[in-house]
Structures are given as structure tokens and as C-alpha cells.
């Protein structure tokens, strides 16, 4: 099945046509949407169009239940963000939210019904030790105790090991960049920090600039994080639709991608958002990104074949014989983009020879 033919994709693209779904199609849609963490978002789209009452009772109940969970999570995240702000207030570091927490706190369309498992923040590298110490004084503890994993994060990655709050069990990822230190693409964190924008009514809390939010989401997805691929592409679709109405957004998007070394991820983001969700990207922007970031024909053909399968929900109704190999190849590509060959070989050898203790029990 092509990704664009998946029931959840058709529903998100054309919620006005949900009244034409049979009960069998609804059954598939609910299963795919739950697998992709997109049921609450679909509820939001349907509610926005005043279509809820026209849906069959059973699937409507599933959508409403998913929305209740997402709304409760959004309330919890807002409370958690204020705790983080209070914890690091004296460090001198700005609290810049990334991804789901940012969309939620900034009241963006991508935040409505967004489901996420942790809070991601970006701080200046020179302040990250102070931020980590401050968080530990307020109840967060390290989750990675293996000496190699500590070195892996602190030497090569773009974040310190995740921190877990000892009472609330919330998880925070503290970043000093948006891609690993060893990655082939190297967006300058200083440019992201300089352009960060305050969130209204949340003093001391920031998001990335609109174009940077799109580019971060694109780099996160198309440099290898496909675990929630369809949800993340839906984020990009909603961000582009919302920011695209702001004067000057489209004029500077491609240039910003080039300045941050993220033109290729933006290429995939724009083309796949338009392909799956009919995102209204101006033709001139597509021509600009094609001119500076279009891969060679063989690479483009291969990537399209892999993304076609990997962006679909990881559900039996969306799989074919090539789905597993496609995901494996993109997983290998992600590591190839994150580390140079000698370091990747060392890392894989260490993991093979010294697997995590939990995995050996």
C-alpha cells in the first residue's frame, strides 16, 4: 500500500470526506492512527470543521478518548515546563523549548492533540553543565549509568544523557545543538539561539524562530528519527500551513536552510509534506529547494522507495514485503549521517561486544 493511501493519511488530508468511510475503513483508520499517535490530532481537525457529530458513535468515542489523553498530557507538560524554568532560573541560560513541548506551549496548531514522551530543551553549550547541576538539585537524575554511554552522549552527541525526575518520572532531554557533534550536517547552534523567540505569557520561555522550528523538525525526521515518522511529517505540514500565512516566511525559508546546512532535510520535508498532506508550498519555493538540494536521480529514486514505506504507520495494514528492509536501510543511513565511519565502527563494535546489562539478563 502506498503511504498516501493509508486510511489515517487520507483522513488527515481530507477530513471532510470521513463521512464516506465504511465501518471497516474506520476500523483500519483507528488502528493506524493509534499506532502513529495521530488520533488526538485527527479529533482536533474534525472538531475544527464541526464534523464530530456526523461521525459514527464508536470511532467518535475512540477519537474523543485519544483527545482526553492528549489534553491531560498538555496540561502536565505546561506544569513541567514551569518547574524546569524555576529550576534553571539562576543559571543564566534561556529555556528554549523544542518540538512537541514548544508547539504545545506556543499554542501552535501542531501542538493540538500532539502526543510526546519527554520535554526537549536547547541551552548554550557553555551553560549546559550549570543547567544539568541545577536540574539535579531539583530532583532530576541521570538515566544512563554506563560509562561508555555517558561518554557517547557527552563527547559525540548533541545532548547530555536524558534526565528523569525522581518523583514525577518525567523525562527531559537537554540539548546544546540539534544534530550530533559528529554528524555530517552541522547547523550552527549560535544562529538558532540568536533567533529564538519568547512565548507570550510565559516569561523566560522561548521557542526557535518559525523557520528554525520547521528546519529542526525536518532534520530530526529526515536525518534518521523515523519512530514517529508520519506524526513528525504531520507536524511539518501544520507548521508550514500556520507559518506560511506570516509575511516573509516563505521568502527566507530556503536561504535559512542553506545557512544552517539543512537544505537537504528541507527538500525531503517539503516534497513529502506536499505529497502526503497536500501542504500548500508555493511553487517558487519548491523550485528554489530543488535548485540547491535535489539529490541525484538514483538517490532520489531509492530514498522515495524507502520513505514510501517508512513514513507509513508501523501497522500490518500498511506493510509490504519490503517494509522491514526499508526501515533497516534508513536506520543504517541514520547512523551513517550521525558518525564518521571509523567512529561508527568503534561504536557498533562496543555495543556488540558489551551489550547493555538489561539486554543480557
From first to last of its 361 residues, the chain has per-residue pLDDT tens of 666 688 999 999 999 999 889 999 999 999 999 999 999 999 999 999 999 999 999 999 999 999 999 999 999 999 999 999 999 999 999 999 999 999 999 999 999 999 878 899 999 999 999 999 999 999 999 887 788 888 888 888 999 999 999 999 999 999 999 999 899 999 999 999 999 999 998 999 999 999 999 999 999 999 877 888 999 999 999 999 999 999 999 999 999 999 999 999 999 999 999 999 999 999 999 999 999 999 999 999 999 999 999 999 988 888 888 889 999 999 989 988 988 888 888 888 887 787 766 544 3
CA quadruple 304, 306, 309, 311: dihedral sign: negative
Q: What is the DSSP letter of 225?
A: -
pLDDT of residue 197: 96
The crossing angle, in degrees rounded to 10, of helices 323-338 and 297-310 is: 120
* pLDDT at position 250: 97
pLDDT at 3: 67
Q: Do 77 and 104 form a contact (C-beta atoms < 8 A)? A: yes
Distance CA 322, CA 304 (A): 13
70-74 — which CB contacts under 8 Å span 24+ positions? Answer: 70/40, 70/41, 70/113, 70/114, 70/115, 71/40, 73/115, 73/116, 74/104, 74/111, 74/114
pLDDT of residue 361: 39
Q: Is 207 helix (H, G, I), strand (E, B) or coil?
A: strand
Q: Using alpha carbons, select from 328, 289, 327 the residue that is nearest to residue 308.
A: 327
pLDDT attached to residue 358: 53
- Spell out a b/e string for 94-116, using b for 16 or more CB atoms within 10 Å of the CB, else e: bbbbbbbbbbbbbebbbbbbbbb
Q: Is 57 helix (H, G, I), strand (E, B) or coil?
A: helix
Quote the pLDDT of residue 359.
Answer: 44
Q: Is the pTM of this model over 0.85?
A: yes
pLDDT at 2: 67
pLDDT at 357: 63
Structure confidence at residue 226 (pLDDT): 82
Amino acid at each position: 500500500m502506498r503511504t498516501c493511501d493509508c486510511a489515517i493519511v487520507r483522513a488527515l488530508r481530507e477530513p471532510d470526506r470521513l463521512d464516506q468511510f465504511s465501518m471497516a475503513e474506520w476500523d483500519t483508520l483507528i488502528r493506524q492512527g493509534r499506532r502513529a499517535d495521530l488520533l488526538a490530532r485527527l479529533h482536533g481537525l474534525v472538531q475544527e470543521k464541526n464534523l464530530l457529530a456526523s461521525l459514527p458513535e464508536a470511532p467518535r468515542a475512540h477519537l474523543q478518548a485519544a483527545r482526553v489523553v492528549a489534553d491531560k498530557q498538555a496540561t502536565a507538560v505546561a506544569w513541567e515546563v514551569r518547574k524546569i524554568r524555576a529550576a534553571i532560573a539562576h543559571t543564566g541560560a534561556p529555556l528554549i523549548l523544542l518540538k512537541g513541548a514548544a508547539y504545545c506551549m506556543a499554542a501552535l496548531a501542531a501542538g493540538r492533540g500532539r502526543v510526546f514522551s519527554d520535554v526537549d530543551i536547547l541551552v548554550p553549550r557553555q551553560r549546559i553543565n550549570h543547567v544539568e547541576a541545577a536540574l539535579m538539585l531539583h530532583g532530576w537524575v541521570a538515566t544512563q549509568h554506563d560509562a561508555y554511554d555517558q561518554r557517547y552522549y557527552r563527547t559525540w552527541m548533541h545532548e547530555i544523557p536524558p534526565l528523569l525526575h525522581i518523583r514525577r518520572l518525567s523525562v527531559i532531554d537537554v540539548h546544546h545543538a540539534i544534530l550530533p557533534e559528529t554528524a555530517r550536517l552541522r547547523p550552527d547552534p549560535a544562529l538558532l539561539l540568536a533567533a529564538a523567540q519568547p512565548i507570550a505569557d510565559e516569561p523566560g520561555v522561548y521557542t526557535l524562530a518559525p523557520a528554525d522550528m520547521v528546519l529542526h523538525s525536518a532534520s530530526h525526521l529526515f536525518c534518521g528519527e523515523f519512530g514517529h515518522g508520519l506524526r513528525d511529517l504531520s507536524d511539518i505540514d501544520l507548521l508550514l500551513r500556520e507559518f506560511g500565512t506570516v509575511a516573509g516566511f516563505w521568502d527566507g525559508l530556503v536561504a535559512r536552510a542553506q545557512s544552517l546546512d539543512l537544505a537537504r532535510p528541507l527538500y525531503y520535508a517539503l516534497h513529502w509534506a506536499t505529497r502526503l498532506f497536500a501542504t500548500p508550498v508555493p511553487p517558487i519555493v519548491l523550485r528554489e529547494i530543488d535548485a540547491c538540494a535535489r539529490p541525484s536521480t538514483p538517490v532520489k529514486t531509492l530514498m522515495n522507495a524507502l520513505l514510501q514505506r517508512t513514513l507509513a504507520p508501523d501497522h500490518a495494514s500498511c506493510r509490504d514485503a519490503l517494509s522491514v528492509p526499508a526501515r533497516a536501510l534508513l536506520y543504517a543511513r541514520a547512523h551513517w549521517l550521525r558518525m564518521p565511519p571509523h567512529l561508527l565502527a568503534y561504536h557498533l563494535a562496543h555495543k556488540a561486544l558489551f551489550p547493555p546489562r538489561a539486554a543480557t539478563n
